[in-house]
Structure 1
Amino acid sequence: MNLRQLSYFVAIGEAESVTKASARLRIAQPALTRHLKHLEGKLGAPLTRRYGRGIVLTDAGRYLLGRVRPLLNELAQVEAEVMELARRTPVEVSLGLPSALSCLADRFIERAATLQPAVRLRVVDGWSGFVLDWLQSGRLDLGVVYDHFGDMNGLVSRPLTSEDHYLIVKRSDRLAERDRITLAEVATLPLILPSRRHGLRHAAERAFASIGCHVEPVAEVDAVPTIRTLVERGTGFSILSESEIRFHLSSALIAIPITEPGLIRNVSIAFRAGNPVANLESLCSVIRDEALAMSREGVLGRAAGASVLEA
């Protein structure tokens, strides 16, 4: 069977007349009759029989009509929807990600392209502080951000996951043999941290304050690659997220779990309240579902566990 024969048969069955179906389809009656006979031959059953000036469907014909008609209607609807998508200009939505998570952008893009075909994601990366600034200034539509203690006014956020943060040390350092380190011990080390405009710095300072410590870093650096290079050279130590460690840590560095207490930051997706771009909530749901899937796979969030990071 092919779609043409089935659509011709449906027209004949609905009209109960080859002549009327021929006029409706604008196809010569002999040609329409040949298609009907070919279909009956392929099925091995008569589908119609003559009745006066018209035709009536046999039991097999009525069964086939009842099964095929909704399928053809569904195909017609799919065709109309695809044609509408082809005519529609894709809506570009800009998404900001922390640099640590930028390597996961392809997952978000592929998921959005599958479930939101009218949306085209444009992805940029930067510190959470930068992403928040870009959101509030209107340069971004959506942003994945870590906990941030700056001005979140005017932003709507949805939780995605959470991540542990680790002390980063040079592999040849004496601390590299440790399987964990307390936050109080971390406070005594020469730390290289980002400036106070970034969430990681705020989170670290709040964690240190919770145990009665105040830390002044030996250097403030707002570029993670430079931080990693300085730690490799033995200039100091730093604190980085699970994702940064999993995807960007070199073999020259070791990640040590921080305990008593641990340093955990939540990851959320945010957008400006009143953003005119349509379906942002729906797109947030798509990204959230993908983030949950990645957590279950062990490539994002606390579900991964420390053993993966130390491998």
Structure 2
Amino acid sequence: MELRQLRYFLKAKELLNFTEAANQLNISQSTLSQQIKQLEEEINVPLFNRIGKRITLTEAGLLFSEFAFQSVSRANDGLIMMKDLNNLNVGSLSIGVTYALRNLLTRALILFSEKFPDIKVKIVFGTSTELIDRLNSTELDFVLTFREQADDVHLRYRSLFSSPMTLVVSKNSNIAGRSSISLKEIMDLPLAFPDSGYSTIQFINNLLKLKKLKPNVLVEINDISTLLELVKTGVWNTILTQVSVDDIGLSTIPIQGKNMLREATVISLKDAYQKKAAEAFQNYL
């Protein structure tokens, strides 16, 4: 059973004349008759009574017409929706983001929503590890996080910008005005670190292990907002990317050395279809 056959049947039902129906459909009468005959053979029941040149609906034809109408109507609705989707008038988007890039995401979301107000956007915060897991299970359309050196071949990476690693201190700290600081100096400071699930701390821990340095970590926490509040007290310090910090109560000091830049990146599944809404949002990013 083909959608085309249902459309032919409905036009013939409307006009009760094969010749006129064929003319309106811009096909030959023989084509129309043949397609309706094939439809009748498939459902094994006549839809029309054929009396000379006249046709009338059978009881089966009357009952079948409601099904045919619903099928064609639903198909037309689907086509309209796909056209709207392609024009970014409807649809949904699920985005994973790490805390450090929340401000970037917020600014892009405002611009995107002004342009495409009917696209529903779901934002999920989490560690890079959590978000990549959800991306792999297709719960997210893409993830906004920092790129790791070891790239997964099944993922697509789109670089946005780089941000330096910094020591974050209270604005009242006696070292707040320094232009830079070494990792070795940081080891003597009381530190509060993000939970090990965050890519930033994984990055730092790998560097410290390589340099055989041991940090004085007194607090470990899985909430970055609370972590920054702790640092503002002046009792603890932390290490984060500069882009993570936008609080007037805090100061950032760039960390000396090579490989102290983190690359903000959009990550998506390489072989999955990328929604037009996802492409548009990434352009705003």
Q: With structure 2 as the length reference, what TM-score do the two structures score?
A: 0.60
Change (3 A) 1:129 1:84: closer
Structure-2 separation of matches of 1:290 and 1:166: 26
Structure-1 separation of matches of 2:221 and 2:185: 22
Identity %: 21
Alpha-carbon displacement from aligned partner over 1:116-147 (angstroms, at most 9, x marks no partner):
78854322333333322321233211111112
Structure-2 separation of matches of 1:274 and 1:140: 14
Change (3 A) 1:136 1:91: same
Corresponding position of 1:254: 251
Pairwise CA distance, 1:102: 2.0
Structure-1 separation of matches of 2:132 and 2:145: 7
Structure-2 separation of matches of 1:107 and 1:139: 23
SS of the aligned residue for 1:240 comes to strand
Corresponding position of 1:85: 84
Larger RCO (CA within 8 A; separation ≥ 6): 2
SS of the aligned residue for 1:123 comes to strand
- Give unmatched runs, 5+ long, in structure 1: 1-80, 292-311
Structure-1 separation of matches of 2:92 and 2:144: 17
- Give unmatched runs, 5+ long, in structure 2: 1-79
| Partner AA of 2:169 in structure 1 | V
Which of residues 236, 249, 266 is equivalent to 2:263? 266
Structure-1 separation of matches of 2:271 and 2:218: 42
SS of the aligned residue for 2:175 comes to helix
Pairwise CA distance, 1:266: 0.9
Corresponding position of 1:147: 147
SS of the aligned residue for 1:177 comes to coil
Structure-1 separation of matches of 2:261 and 2:118: 36
Q: Contact 1:195 / 1:222 at 8 angstroms: preserved in 2?
A: yes
CA-based RMSD of the aligned residues comes to 3.4
Higher helix fraction (1 or 2): 1
Corresponding position of 1:18: none
Corresponding position of 2:178: 178
Corresponding position of 1:229: 229
Structure-2 separation of matches of 1:165 and 1:175: 16
Alignment of 1:290 onto 2:284: yes
| Partner AA of 2:265 in structure 1 | S
Pairwise CA distance, 1:268: 1.0
Pairwise CA distance, 1:216: 5.6
| Matched positions, count | 205
Corresponding position of 2:102: 102
Corresponding position of 1:138: 138
Q: Contact 1:165 / 1:257 at 8 angstroms: preserved in 2?
A: yes
Structure-2 separation of matches of 1:118 and 1:270: 24
Structure-1 separation of matches of 2:116 and 2:229: 40
Pairwise CA distance, 1:185: 1.3
Q: Contact 2:193 / 2:201 at 8 angstroms: preserved in 1?
A: yes
Q: Contact 2:101 / 2:145 at 8 angstroms: preserved in 1?
A: no
Pairwise CA distance, 1:235: 3.3
